[in-house]
């Protein structure tokens, strides 16, 4: 198998982010939602540079001999990334200027800047600046020959070119002094990014905080003439670099790493592409930036702030409300444990309410027969209701154990704070251990029933996070299957005791049997295809990157196995290659909700095997994380999952075809019935 049978991971991720940008361009999407998609694109790209690009650039520092062991050339890849991002940024700017701004104007919402501000608005802005903004702005003069000025990570600055109004007299002649340069940080974290100006005749006016500062620069720099001003922003490396996770206090090392994140090395310097070359060169020298740091952008940065763009009570500019559906099995006064004991129950978020998870934990906290609660926590919401329920259970005398993953990127501090609250309440808290993240989503309750201990379990594809559950599409399975309960307990034993020889017959658990079993399941389909029997593999994943398992899928395709892949993000597999992947088709769905669930379906000679999972098919998930794929045995639930997969595969409104070049062409209806899978799923789940 040749080298060029894998699509590059980073370029594939950029292709995914372009699908987000497509939603911003889609005129059928409500205007404010299109603005949010611009925000999501911007936020995604910011994280990409903070983590992935920073990591790639660190490889440039490797010695030549070490670089030769890599599968790629970092400098060439970084160049491709920069070129791709430049094209996307140009498209982003065009969407904003030519579609979003005119769309706002049609709704009588106008963005104001120094070019179109009225006299009355100018007076309002000046007063606002003096009263509220000025106390937070501390301008700094730059001097490239002195100490480098420190730019805060992800903050917006105005870079200003100045000339003194005073005239110097040398050689008996009066002349203007040379240019000076300065920066002023925009205090958006304190005042918000957007300020609403007084409405006039039914028209609404909004101004960027950046422009309020820009308009008042003469007040900020008295004695100087303002030559020009441009927006800049620095993104820093946000990866946690822990030299040795296996010695010393790992928690303290993580906390120390977090403190260094704010001062990480630059990974992207974003500047207004209208900035003159000489101005940019001065900033580059003064801030000690490399050419690779420089990324041109537009007049405004940090578009993720558009999540908080003022809403002027125009509901037609947003998606219509989709209230979570009820689950009738749980909407009765019977004990939730009695309900689960009768049959397995599947919840599908955000189409169904997350409150049933809270009810599960709250019932456990109050039930006199519950002995213990064990739970894994990966990404925890601020002011989490899950944490509150666990604390209540501990206060009620329950034996509560929580495994908190404090290496969950960008949620480390929230997780530390939640863990501290749990410890204070008497919960037994276990933390990250070296070399591995715990990404599985499990809850196990032990309850005394008829003098015996019984297990009631909850397994999920998504986090115990009531906030992300409103927008992330995930599955959660309640079961009283005792064999599965015993195996979940073995996972918790592993997390608590670090035992290395756990066996599983039902659950597929990384790093134990997940990869091995997946390979065996694919081999079974290969054997069926070679034998002339029916064979099929259907996968729904966030990312497909692991090369060993991609090679196995290629082998299956060559044997004649039909493979359908629904991949939201990274896809390193190349579909449709002659004599290699002709039997593999790939689509991706980006829509209102973030597709986050993982589903594995194997034909198994007609007796289909269904799994839901926390794990994507990436090397890290299959080898360096604790992940769980769990079987679905209930026939009704299997049928429901199959219907959901069929709806997604036939989506002809929001599905994109992932081809060898990842061009993101839409899978269109061609006169067929329009199927927008997320909305069809919502209807499917409605109670009869």
Instruction: Flag whether pLDDT at 67 surpasses 90.
Output: no
Cα 674 from Cα 412, distance rounded (Å) = 42
What mean pLDDT is reported for the chain? 90
**Cβ-count burial 539-569 (b if 16+ within 10 Å, e if not):** bbbbbbbbeebbebbbebbbbebbbbbbbbb
Strands 266-272 and 173-176: unpaired
Block residue for tokens 């080298």: 3
**646-672 burial: b if 16+ Cβ within 10 Å, else e:** ebbbbbbbbbbbbeeebebebbeeeee
Task: List the Cα angle 36/155/408 in 5-degree steps.
Answer: 70
Q: Which residue has the higher pLDDT, 55 or 632?
A: 632
Most confident of 150-164, 418-432, 573-587: 573-587
Residue 607: φ, ψ to 5°: -100, 75
Cβ atoms of residues 112 and 197 within 8 Å: yes
- For 308-331, the pLDDT digits (tens) are 999 888 899 999 999 999 999 998
pLDDT above 60 for 84: yes
Which positions are annotated as active-site residues? 439
Number of H helices, E strands in the chain: 22, 29
For helices 31-48 and 74-95, what crossing angle results, to 10°?
Answer: 160
pLDDT by residue (tens digit) across 618-628? 999 999 899 99
Q: Name the band, by pLDDT with cuts 50, 70 and 90, for residue 686.
A: confident
- Buried b / exposed e along 430-453 (16+ C-beta atoms within 10 A): bbbbeebbbbbbbbbbbbeeeeee
CA distances from 537 to 588, 604, 611 (A): 16, 9, 12
Question: Is pLDDT at 598 greater than 80 in this prediction?
Answer: yes
Gap between the Cα atoms of 210 and 224, Å rounded:
19
Strands 441-449 and 452-460, bridge-based pairing: antiparallel
The predicted model gives 66-90 an average pLDDT of 85
Over 90: is that where the pLDDT of 261 sits?
no
CB-based contact 573:585 (threshold 8 Å): no
Residue 432 reports pLDDT greater than 90: no
Task: Please state, for a pLDDT cut of 70, what percent of the chain lies above it.
Answer: 91
The model carries a pTM of 0.91
Half-sphere exposure of 2 (CA within 13 A, CB side): 8
Tell me if residue 471 falls in helix, strand or coil: coil
Return the beta strands (E) in 237-311 as ranges.
266-272, 294-297
pLDDT higher than 50, residue 451: yes
Residue pair 589/654 in contact (Cβ under 8 Å)? The answer is: yes
Q: Residue range 492-504: average pLDDT? A: 83
Domains in the chain, start-ordered, CATH in brackets? Answer: 3-317 (3.30.1840.10), 336-503 (3.30.870.10), 509-685 (3.30.870.10)
Residue 401, classed as helix, strand or coil, is strand
């Amino acid at each position: 198998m040749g080298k060029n049978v894998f699509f590059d991971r980073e370029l594939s991720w950029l292709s995914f982010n372009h699908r987000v940008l497509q939603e911003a361009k889609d005129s059928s999407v409500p205007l404010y939602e299109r603005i949010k998609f611009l925000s999501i694109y911007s936020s995604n790209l910011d994280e990409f540079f903070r983590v992935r690009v920073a990591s790639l650039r660190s490889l440039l520092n490797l010695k030549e001999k070490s670089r030769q062991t890599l599968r790629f050339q970092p400098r060439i890849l970084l160049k491709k990334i920069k070129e791709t991002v430049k094209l996307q940024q140009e498209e982003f700017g065009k969407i904003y200027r030519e579609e979003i701004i005119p769309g706002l104007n049609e709704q009588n919402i106008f963005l104001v800047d120094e070019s179109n501000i009225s006299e009355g608005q100018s007076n309002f802005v000046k007063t606002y600046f003096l009263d509220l903004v000025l106390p937070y702005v501390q301008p700094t003069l730059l001097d490239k020959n002195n100490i480098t000025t420190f730019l805060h990570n992800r903050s917006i600055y105005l870079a200003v070119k100045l000339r003194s109004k005073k005239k110097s007299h040398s050689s008996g002649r009066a002349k203007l002094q040379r240019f000076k340069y300065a920066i002023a940080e925009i205090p958006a974290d304190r005042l918000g990014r957007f300020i609403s100006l007084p409405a006039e005749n039914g028209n609404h006016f909004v101004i960027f905080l950046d422009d309020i500062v820009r308009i008042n620069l003469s007040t900020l720099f008295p004695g100087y003439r303002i030559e020009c001003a441009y927006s800049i922003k620095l993104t820093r490396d946000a990866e946690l670099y822990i030299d040795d996770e296996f010695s010393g206090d790992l928690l303290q090392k993580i906390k120390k790493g977090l403190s260094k994140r704010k001062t990480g090395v630059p990974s992207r310097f974003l500047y207004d592409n209208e900035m003159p070359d000489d101005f940019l060169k001065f900033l580059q020298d003064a801030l000690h930036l490399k050419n690779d740091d420089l990324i041109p952008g537009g007049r405004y940065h940090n578009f993720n702030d558009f999540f908080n763009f003022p809403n002027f009570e125009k509901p037609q500019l947003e998606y219509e409300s989709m209230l979570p559906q009820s689950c009738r099995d749980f909407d009765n006064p019977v004990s939730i444990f009695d309900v689960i004991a009768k049959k397995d129950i599947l919840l599908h978020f955000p189409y169904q309410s997350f409150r049933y998870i809270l009810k599960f934990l709250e019932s456990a906290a109050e039930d006199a027969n519950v002995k213990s609660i064990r739970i894994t926590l990966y990404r925890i919401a601020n002011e989490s209701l899950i944490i509150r329920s666990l604390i209540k259970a501990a206060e009620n005398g329950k034996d509560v154990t929580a495994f908190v993953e404090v290496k969950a990127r960008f949620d480390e501090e929230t997780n530390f704070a939640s863990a501290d609250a749990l410890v204070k309440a008497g919960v037994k808290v276990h933390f990250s251990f070296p070399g591995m993240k715990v990404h599985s989503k499990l809850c196990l309750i032990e309850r005394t029933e008829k003098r015996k201990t019984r297990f009631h379990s909850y397994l999920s594809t998504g986090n115990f996070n009531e906030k992300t559950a409103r927008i992330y599409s995930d599955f959660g399975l309640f079961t009283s299957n005792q064999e599965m309960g015993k195996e979940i307990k073995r996972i918790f034993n592993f997390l608590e005791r670090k035992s290395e020889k756990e066996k599983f017959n039902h659950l597929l658990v990384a790093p134990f049997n997940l990869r091995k079993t997946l390979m065996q399941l694919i081999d079974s389909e290969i054997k069926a295809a070679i034998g002339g029997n029916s064979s099929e593999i259907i996968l729904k994943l966030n990312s497909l990157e692991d090369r060993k398992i991609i090679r196995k899928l290629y082998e299956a395709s060559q044997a004649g196995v039909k493979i359908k892949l629904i991949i939201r993000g990274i896809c390193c597999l190349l579909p449709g290659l002659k004599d290699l992947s002709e039997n593999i088709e790939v689509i991706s769905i980006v829509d209102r909700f973030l597709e986050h669930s993982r589903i594995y379906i194997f034909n198994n000679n007609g007796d289909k095997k269904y799994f839901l999972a926390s794990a994507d098919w990436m090397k890290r998930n299959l080898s360096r994380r604790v992940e769980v794929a769990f079987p679905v045995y209930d026939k009704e639930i299997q049928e429901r999952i199959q219907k959901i997969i069929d709806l997604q595969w036939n989506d002809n409104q929001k599905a994109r075809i992932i081809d060898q070049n990842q061009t993101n062409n839409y899978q269109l209806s061609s006169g067929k019935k329009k199927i927008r899978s997320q909305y069809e799923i919502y209807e499917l789940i409605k109670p009869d």
